[in-house]
Amino acid sequence: MKMRWGLSILVAGLLTGTLFADAPDPVHTAADQHDIGAIYSALLHNGAAFKNLGRGQNQCWAIADTTVNIDDMNPSLAPDAQLKPPGNNPKPFQEALADFNARKYQRVTLPHSSNSQYVVLSPDEANAFRASRTSVDGGDGSQKYSSCGGITYFSDVYFSAHRSGALVYMLNWCGSFCGQGEWVYLEKRDGQWALRSGQAGIVSGARPF
């Protein structure tokens, strides 16, 4: 079952992590929503994820409006298959991993909005976008999405018990042999989320499904 939740993404909230909407959320608190927005925003804006994808500074980029679960990932890897907990503080990582194992089959739907640099795509629109990059004739989305360099898929964010650690999967895709996907682990320090592990690397032919 999909769960709707408010998230500041793709408008002013994308830069601040503030709430975008107040839709009820049976899993995440309002504080969680703020942290989720801040985490997604940081991953989109740190630049490292897009260095090898040929993304222009002013180029449109798409974001899937539905998070991926473990079944959607290809290959289907749990976080601890890619990452190791920090040696000096493994507990938050293990707690976030437990949250993932409890909710790894759930998907979350993000709110739609408009932004000059980002466009949010429904599952059907995301399929059309991928077809525009992979089919011989470009598919129905060849013109509609011609200005966008690629699409990002996120998993939900999986938190430690005290919300000091978080695991999230991020896949950036721009064609059949152009993509990079990975799990990342972050910890909250002085109110800011900082990357602790996860190196964005090219995954040949990475795809979400």
Q: What's the pLDDT tens digit per position in 100-144?
A: 999 999 998 876 655 556 788 889 999 888 888 887 665 565 567
3-state class (DSSP) for residue 116:
coil
Neighbour-count burial of 131, counting CB atoms closer than 10 A to its CB (0-12 exposed, 13-18 middle, 19+ buried): middle
Predicted local distance difference test score (pLDDT) of residue 25: 57
Q: What local confidence, expressed as pLDDT, does residue 11 receive?
A: 28
DSSP state letter for 139: -
State the pLDDT at residue 115: 54
Distance (Å, whole) CA 64 – CA 151: 7
Bridge partner residues of 195 (DSSP): 186
Task: Write the CB contacts of 42 (distance below 8 Å, at least 6 apart in sequence).
Answer: 186, 193
Please give the distance of CA 52 from its chain centroid, rounded to a whole number. 17
Determine the pLDDT at residue 161.
95
pLDDT at residue number 197? 85
Residue-level pLDDT at 37: 86
3-state secondary structure of 57: coil
C-beta neighbour count of 117 within 10 angstroms? 13
Determine the pLDDT at residue 76.
92
**Which stretches of the chain drop beneath a pLDDT of 70?**
1-26, 46-59, 111-117, 136-143, 199-209
Q: Please give the pLDDT value at position 142.
A: 56
Do 158 and 165 meet the contact criterion of CB atoms below 8 Å apart? Answer: no
Q: Where along the chain do its domains lie?
A: 52-104+112-197
Instruction: Look at residue 138 in the predicted model and tell me its pLDDT.
Output: 54
Lookup: tokens for 196: 């602790």
